Amino acid sequence: MTKRAKKTLKPMKHSASHRIWTIRFLIAAAVVWVFYTYVMYRLPEGLQTIFQNWLPPTTVNEAMVWVICALGLNIVVGYAGLLDLGFVAFWAIGGYSAGWFMSAFFGQVNIHILTTAPRDLPGIHLSFWGVLLIGGLICAFFGIIIGAPTLRLKSDYLALVTLGFGEIIPQVFTNGQNIAGFNISNGTKGISPVDNIGVPGKVLGPFDFSWKFFIFALLTAVMVFVSLRIRKGRLGRAWLAIREDELAASMMGLPLKSTKLAAYAVGAFSGGVGGVAFATHVNGVFADRFNFSISIILLAMVVLGGMGNVWGVMIGALLIAWINSTGLPAFGDLVNNTFHTEINFPSYNFLLFGGVLVLMMLYKREGMIPESRLKAILHEADDTTSNIAGGH
């Protein structure tokens, strides 16, 4: 087979792989929706208890929100190679966008646009779909603002600056009850409740889980589509070039500043969408939920799944979200009830994540489902090192 034929075959293999993963995701989403909507509540009480303890519907919905945000961070870290430790800032801004435009927080006005909220309820009440776009655009704007000072920074310095922004934004909302005489966040009290998404549950199923899961899965599918399409395009290839060798990319004429800012903007947009979805999931926005640990968990999802690989990041996000929310507490209850102990397993979640990350960095740096290019680069570096060591 000629070299030209091999090059033609490679994109075809990638497209076939993406189609297979897309079909799997759609099938899995459909099975989950049907099970929790029509099957679970008809099971015997014992089986219902098992599912409620180990994989309740709320955990499934929340896991989809984690996936949306992890896909956004994957664009910044996995595609462009920019180590961002402050991604929680965009999750918070997206959440407060929902609080501003889907609640009675601004009680001095009465604006209702395409919403199911009562007309006599004061405040700004916009359609959930409109707020998704507004929250995403606000986060994209702040992504550019936050990313601009970091354009000349690399590695540890970049991580420290993004960490600083990730700490500043949540603190602004925590103390935002009186900023120059304005209340932008209601401080530690938060903003609650926010408007419902506006899709009647009876349209898709009899339970509250149905329509929320359907919409969250749809948003996840959109983010997957955007991630895959943008990676194949000119911008995605530019990000990969910067990730692999920034100096070589600049020498080839790539505009580093605009390309990096685009990565921050697109990733932040995804974080904003996730923040709006999360606010509707928990029916409110609370400053104490946006702490630094969220950024670390999201980064662990990307690293564990496979940086740069959309499907790997999805698997990593679903796995860690389940362990952090339900899996570890349920396992702890099982062990404590079996052996009559009183170990607080959830308190060891960061010990578990840290240990897993250390093992991954030592033995499988490319992640569970690695991106082919990154895997080749890492193994090439390992082969080079071993050859040099052998030569001596």
Domains of the chain: 18-37+57-291 (1.10.3470)
Side-chain half-sphere CA neighbours of 316 within 13 A = 31
Q: Which of 17-26, 62-71, 109-118 is the most confident on average?
A: 62-71
- Nearest CA to 225 out of 281, 280, 270, 272 is that of 270
Binned at pLDDT 50, 70 and 90, residue 232 comes out as confident
Residue 117 is classified by DSSP as S
Q: Which of 61-75, 149-163, 179-193, 377-391 is the most confident on average?
A: 61-75
Mean pLDDT of the chain: 86
CA angle 192, 198, 204 (to 5 degrees): 125
What mean pLDDT do residues 253-276 have? 93
Q: What is the pLDDT of residue 362?
A: 86
Phi, psi torsion values for 285, nearest 5 degrees: -130, 125
| Whether the Cβ atoms of residue 128 and residue 113 lie closer than 8 Å to each other | no
Other CB atoms within 10 Å distance of the CB of residue 228: 17
Q: What is the pLDDT of residue 269?
A: 96
What mean pLDDT do residues 295-301 have? 91
Binned at pLDDT 50, 70 and 90, residue 206 comes out as very low
Q: Is the pTM of this model over 0.85?
A: yes
Q: What is the pLDDT of residue 354?
A: 85
Tokens of 392: 């001596």
- Nearest CA to 238 out of 257, 265, 225 is that of 257
Q: What is the pLDDT of residue 5?
A: 40
Report the range of poorest mean pLDDT among 115-124, 130-139, 260-269, 331-340.
Answer: 115-124
Residues with Cβ < 8 Å from 268, sequence gap 6 or more? 72, 90, 139, 140, 142, 143, 144, 146
> Exposed/middle/buried for 348, CB within 10 Å: 0-12, 13-18, 19+?
middle
More confident residue, 111 or 13: 111
- Nearest CA to 174 out of 162, 188, 164, 155 is that of 188
Binned at pLDDT 50, 70 and 90, residue 378 comes out as low
Q: What is the pLDDT of residue 279?
A: 94
Locus of tokens 């015997």? 44
DSSP 331-343: HHHHHHHHHT---
Other CB atoms within 10 Å distance of the CB of residue 147: 25
| Whether the Cβ atoms of residue 252 and residue 72 lie closer than 8 Å to each other | no
Report the range of poorest mean pLDDT among 65-69, 166-170, 267-271.
Answer: 166-170
Residue 111 is classified by DSSP as E
What mean pLDDT do residues 233-253 have? 89
Q: What pLDDT digit, counting tens, does each position of 188-199 carry?
A: 899 999 998 865
Q: What is the pLDDT of residue 9?
A: 43
Would you say residue 372 has pLDDT above 60?
Answer: yes
- Nearest CA to 189 out of 329, 113, 285, 71 is that of 285
3-state secondary structure labels for all residues of 3-56: HHHHHHHHHHHHHHHHHHHHHHHHHHHHHHHHHHHHHHHHCCHHHHHHHHHHCC
Report percent pLDDT > 90 for the chain. Answer: 47
Residues with Cβ < 8 Å from 312, sequence gap 6 or more? 305, 306, 367, 368, 369, 370, 371
